[in-house]
Each structure stands twice: as C-alpha cells, then as structure tokens.
Chains A and B, each alone.
Chain A
Amino acid sequence: MTTPYTGHDYDVVIIGGGGAGLRAAIESAAQGARTALVCKSLLGKAHTVMAEGGAAAALGNVWPEDNWQVHFRDTMRGGKLLNNWRMVELYTKEAPERILELEEYGAVFDRTSAGLISQRDFGGHRYARLAHVGDRTGLEIIRTLQHKMIHMGVDVFMETTITRLLTGTGRIAGAFGYRRDTGEFLVFRSKAVVLATGGLGKAWKYTSMSWESTGDGIALALDAGADLIDAEMVQFHPTGMVWPPGARGILVTEGVRGDGGVLRNADGRRFMFDHIPAFFKDETADSEAEADRWYTDKRNNRRPPELIPRDEVTRAIYAEVKAGRGSPHGGVFLDIATRRNADYIKKRLPSMYHQFMELAGVDITKEPMEVYPTCHYSMGGVRVDPETQAATVPGLFAAGELAAGLHGANRLGGNSLSDILVFGRRAGLYAAQYAQEMRAAPAADPAQVDGAARDLVGPFSAAGGESPYAIQADLQEMMQEYVGIYRDEDGMRTALAQIDALTARARGVRAEGPRQYNPGWHAAQDLYSMLTVAAVVTRSAIERRETRGGHSRTDYPQTDPAWGKMSVIARKVDGQLTLDRVPIPEMPAELKALLEVK
C-alpha cells in the first residue's frame, strides 16, 4: 500500500520549536544550510514559554567573584557528579556569551543599577546567577529566538508531528510525519536531523508539562538505533501547585525561594533545616539568622537550606508529608508573604501572583502557597558527543532536554534555559557542517515510509474500541504510583507488567472522525511515545541500585560510589529494548580540583 504524501527536501530538519530547536535553526540557517523547523504546536508555544525563573550564566554582574569555574563546580555537584564533565565545561564557558547574544537579538532582561543584566539567586548556585525577566524568562527567550529566526529563511511547519525517523545505509535520511490542520502526510528528505523535542513528563499524572511533552524524541531516537543514557534520572520539581485539582502539578518557580520564600510544614516549622544532607552540610546555613543574612552577604554566610538542589528539597517535602506534617491538600507551605513586602513580590514574581490569584483564589502577598513535587524534567535522554551533539547514528543530533549528559543525576534550576542556547547552537552548527559535507541525502528505505504511514492510519480501522485517553490516564496513574519520586524493585516490576498490558491495549486503540485536526487520533500516536518512555525509564531505574539525584529508591537508599562512575545505556537491538552500562568519562585533574574549592 502506498499512501499519498508531500515530499520536502532540506539539508537539516529540526524537530522541536522550543529554545533548543529555535537556536539550532538560527545557527543552521546562518551556516547556509537549507533548514526546516517542524514543531508540534504553533510557533512560540513550546514548553520553553513556561520556564519562569531565569537562565544561569556566570556573567558576574551582581557578584564579580562569579566565573565559569564556580558555575562548573555548582553544576557538577548539583548533578551528583554523574554529569559529562566536558559538556559542563563547554556549557559554563559559553553560557554568558549566549545570553549576551540574546540581547543582540532584542531580548530585554531586568537590569542592575549599573544598567547590566540583573541576576537572581536560585538553588544550588553559589552566586546570584540567573538572568531573568520577572518570572517570565522563558517567554522572553522563546519570543526573542522566534523573532530572530523568522527573518533567516527557515521554513517552519507548525502543528506538524513527526512519527518516524527515516534511515538509509545506516545514516539518517529524513523524517515522516503529518500536518494537523489538514491531516496530510509529509516526507522530509534530509541529510541531517536535529531532535529537540523536549521532555517526557506526560507519562506521569502530576507534571508541570503540557500535552506535548510525551517524549517523542526518545521513541524516535531509539527506533532509529540511537543510544540513550541516564533515563532513570527524572526530576520532580519540589514545588508544583496542589490545589485546585485541575491546577495540580502546575509549576511554582524556584524564584519564590530564590527571592526569600521559605518552606514550612503544618507546625509552621522551616523544616528544611532538618533535611540538610551531609554532601551539602558545609555550604548550607545552620540557623535561620545566617540563612537570612546570605541574601545580601554571600561572603560571610552560607545559603539557606531551601536553596539546596531540587532533588534534596523534593525528598524533604515527600518525607514531611509522609510523616503527617503536610498542608490541608497534601502538600507543604511555601511562604513569601511574611518574608517580603507586597510590592517586591508583585515586581519579582508577577506571574506567580497572577497564577495563584486566578486559579486558586490565593493572594501570595498575604497567604502561603500550598506546594508538592511535580514531574518536571528529564536529565537523561539521547547520548550525544559533548562537542557536536551528534547522537550515535550518523546524521542525528540532539539538543536541549532530550539530550543527556550536562545535568548528570539532577539539574540545577536555571541551567536549562542556558543549556538550550549553548547546545542548541552547537547542534545546529554541527548538523549544518555534517550536511554540507554530504552530496545528497541518503535514500530512505521506501518500506519505512509505507510502514510509518500504515501505523499512522492504523487506529481508524482498529478492531478494538479503546479510547486513547483512557489508556493515557491509566499509564499516568501507574507511573505516578510505581516510578515516582521514590521507587523500589517490586513496584517497578509491577510497573513493567502493567506497561506490557497497556501496550497490548494500545494496539486496539481506536480513532473516530476525520484526519483533520483530530486530537483523539493524535493521542493514539502519543501513546507509542509515552509507553516507550515508561518502559525505558522503568527498566533503567531497576538497573541503578542506589539513590542519586532524581533517582530515589527505598530499597537502596544510599548513594553508591561504584554507581557514581557509571551510566545506564538503553538501546534497541532487533526491535528489543536492551540495557548496558558504560563508565562516565574521567575528569581531568584541573577540573577535579575545581570541585574541591570551598
């Protein structure tokens, strides 16, 4: 069977319209490559738009002591040293340049009194380091990149979903997908593909992510033969909304704590003082007085315990609620009302003020917020070369949240918005160079296109009558319960059995109605990505028998130094998901020395 499709030819096709994809497109086009950007939603609506607090870069505008070496140390320690050191080095050195470049594109960050980019405090960062615009930094970055890119001759395919990468002679040959507005099938023939599809949190019930974040890039990369690493490292951000029910999981920026907010339990106690791990003891305040002095005097005081890295704060909130010291709706209290005046809160955190007022009827300048951890970020993902962002399949590149290595076992807040700039640019640059060295795109195996088209229309004629939404909901419920903040082997074995059962149900999923703008049909496609994500995260999580960063196990509660030298790799061999372990690259002595600096 051949299904009609429209063909397009490019040097580089970028999949994903968030910050990483846009920055890659800008760079690819600047290199003279014929570039297309394919995005699942409208341009400017991707997940980057929801990023709030800021973009970390050692500009030294507020604290001149700050430099890439300190940012390197903070990022490695935040990632519990599982990070790829070379990516961290490139990242911390290049982040300031990438932020300043946004100003050349028209971004308008908040200013210091000297007229430079202002920087705010965030968890795990020794100095105030996050360039920001109130608490809507992601909007500023995505709009700036969007308005830069539209003048660079990049062809944009909005509301277009890629369901399969095409390969030929062992290389990337393009991608197959469909346009939502018409239902038309598309074949992109291209020399290189940059995957910048973002996160995968939609496989969990409570997440800060939108419907888009189904981990499509995970499934596309695995099926094309690429390696993944560290898939078990999923970040549950400490502070998501808990009430009302429809708002559960929506992000509450770490900027609240960076700007002076504190966490309290039902007894009114600042409980983070009771949960400071040994790894961060020397750099964390041990009294409220010292913690409060730190905001203005970082030389003589240590940081408040509310600002240790996210994985630690999440475990502490989990423990407080489990011990029965939670808030009425099952979270804890995040209080900035008693700590800062109303004008300051509205100026620094306008969108938090708006969000709580409109959705929960809570005035955060007068009352505490109720918060609980929410699935927020994937540190793991496609295994890439640190310099070029090349995946293990020739012609395939990955950047942003989908790519692994930079953040190790846990990402520091603020490191994502600069990650997407640094490595988005690198992926675009090296994808364009790779493409320019090839005369023509490899010919894709025609059977791949037919197979992809057949799979795509399958749900319209499926024999079963299952609704994709019901399977999605069951998957999310199950992952939340068994592969959430804390995991154990028995629970994860249960999860694997349920994933098999859900996969069987998904084969009978049915789509009704026309191909044109049909969300039910789209949800049926999303299931494949989500089930792949669930399987690869769970399998990898069973493999890592320790607790580290975003991976917490009740049956292995300790951090194991042997596992600190190892990443879990996942790949498909003959269609079967297989796991392996690989040592993480050894850090040069001069960088190791940076970690010891007090």
Chain B
Amino acid sequence: MTSAGTVTLRVWRGTREGGGFEEYQVETAPGMVVLDALRAAQAAQAPDLAIRWNCKAGKCGSCSAEVNGHPVLTCMTRLEELREDGPVTVAPMKTFPLIKDLVTDVSWNYEKAKEIPPFTPGPKDPDGKRRMYQEDVDRVQEFRKCIECFLCQNVCHVIRDHPENKPAFSGPRFFIHLANLDMHPWDTADRTALIKQQAGLGFCNITKCCSEVCPEKIHITDNAIIPLKERVVDDYYDPILWLWRKVTGRK
C-alpha cells in the first residue's frame, strides 16, 4: 500500500494480441482485499476490465491471479498483507492462454478432468448399505477440499514454461483427483496405466511448488503425488504385487 487511504493498482490490460500494465488509484477501506480494489476500479474507472470472481470468500476458486508476482486468490489477499511499498501489481495466471485482462482460458483443465475414468464403486454391503469409517476417508477428504482455483497448475514447472507438455500431463490438480479415486475405500477401477502414461506423473520432479500455493493447504506432493508414484512403481516394477493383483483382482 502507498499513502493512507489510497492504493495504486497496476493491472494487466490486454489480449493475446498484446497489452500492458495500466494504473488505477483506488480508495481503501479497512480489511480490503485485492478483489475489492479491482472491482472498485472496474466500477468507477474501467467498466470493461475483465476479471473472474464469484463467492468472494475463498470457496469457489474463480479469482486466481498473480499479485506482486505471487499466485493467489485475490478475494483472500488483504491489501494490508502486501508489505511492499509502491503499487500493487496484478497480472493474469501465466500458464493459461490469455482471454482478456486478468481472465485466462482454463479449458485445458476441464479437458483433463474428462480423461479420468469416473468413480466406480464395488458392491454394497449385504444389508444394502455402504459403510466406510472416518479414519479411512480423512485422507480422501483432504483432496476433496480442492476448489479448482488452478493455482497449482499455474505454478507447475512442467507446463508453466513448456506448454508443449500439456497434452501428456494432467497436473497437480488432477493428481490429487486421481489420488482421491485411488484411495477411496469403495472404488474398484484401476487407473495406474493412466497415471503413468496419459496423466504423465513421471514429469513431476517433486519441487512442491504446487503445495506451496494451494489456498486450501492440501499437501499435494506429500499426500497425493508421492503415494501415486509409489503405486506406479509397485504396479510396474514389483512382480509379486503384480501377480497378486492379477490373481485376486484387487487394487
């Protein structure tokens, strides 16, 4: 923040054809978040400023952007937290193709979601009910907290500077989805081949950038990616486990 009562926003304006940063002066209020400031600029100075937002409470994952170089949810980033002097710089997520201003084309994520075979439960208990215990679902529920802000995808080195990897890589968001399915007590589908091949788990070299930016604080690397890597190793390189699964049909 700059002088008391106002903040200078430096906001990226433009399309794939080109653009640059433009500055807006906005009056501040106590507890103001970056998204409040962007909307204030939009309402009074730049009505066609493209931003994406919905819940304004950190629950929907729509308003992701890079604020002073840090990938964040703009609705949960208070101006008071930005200690740097000078203007607050807001840029779109870099990894996805720009549509306009702060809005990017995230359709790649939705395509990746479709490639993952859906949840496939086994039979119910003999009394027609299904049971699973809290201690068995705690780890799955961690992955299910994901709000699909795609910040983990945005910072992933595999695709951030290498868009050519996108067709053969699902990214951290879908690794946790795969882990969720794999660790679900009732699921019976075998997605190991997909994890290894189409999802491209092997590209990940465990730099943990994804875990660091997750607004839900999901331990993406430790709790999802590493166990999935172990699963791939077991399935592909452990002959005894391989035979056991072949014979019993269990995961």
Contacts and interface: CB of A to CB of B under 8 A. Distances in A.
Contacts of B133: 111, 113, 115
Contact of B144 (A140, A469, A514): A140
Contacts of B52: 41-42
Interface residues of A, number: 68
Given A211-B54, A246-B36, A148 B144 contact: no
A468 interface: yes
A369 to B, nearest CB: 14
Contacts of A355: 57-58
Q: How large is the interface on B (under 10, 10 to 19, 20 to 34, 35 or more residues)?
A: 35 or more
A207 B179 CA distance: 37
Interface string B91-125: 00000000111010110001001100011010000
Given A115-B131, A115-B133, A147-B113, A519 B31 contact: no
A373 to B, nearest CB: 17
Contacts of B99: 181, 516-517
Interface in A379-395: none
B181 A517 contact: no
B47 to A, nearest CB: 3
B102 to A, nearest CB: 10
Q: Which of A42, A50, A210, A245 has the most CB of B within 10 A?
A: A42
Contacts of A210: 53-56, 60
A299 interface: no
Interface stretch (A82-90, A100-108, A279-287, A526-534): A100-108
Contacts of B105: 181
A469 B47 contact: yes
B41 to A, nearest CB: 11
Contacts, number: 169
B226 interface: no
B50 A517 contact: yes
B76 interface: yes
B130 interface: yes
Contacts of A100: 130
A520 B54 contact: no
A133 B76 contact: no
A136 interface: yes
A125 B225 CA distance: 42
A520 B100 CA distance: 14
A108 B76 contact: no
A133 B57 CA distance: 18
B48 A520 contact: yes
Nearest to B103: A517
Nearest to A152: B118
Given A43-B110, A108-B144, A247-B31, A115 B132 contact: yes
A143 interface: yes
Contacts of A116: 129, 131
A359 B161 CA distance: 33
Contacts of B137: 108, 111
A451 interface: no
A103 B145 CA distance: 16
A140 to B, nearest CB: 6
Contacts of A47: 54-55
A206 B103 CA distance: 26
Given A467-B47, A469-B43, 6 more contacts: A49-B59, A111-B132, A115-B132, A359-B33, A467-B44, A520-B48
24 contacts: A44-B60, A44-B148, A49-B60, A49-B147, A50-B55, A105-B118, A111-B137, A116-B129, A116-B131, A150-B114, A156-B110, A181-B99, A210-B54, A211-B53, A244-B29, A246-B33, A250-B56, A250-B57, A355-B57, A358-B76, A358-B78, A513-B47, A516-B99, A518-B50
Interface of B: 15, 29-33, 36, 42-44, 47-62, 76, 78, 99-101, 103, 105-106, 110, 113-114, 118-119, 121, 129-134, 137, 140-141, 144-148, 181, 184, 187
Sorted from nearest, which 5 A-B pairs have the closest CB atoms?
A244-B31, A520-B47, A513-B48, A115-B131, A106-B119
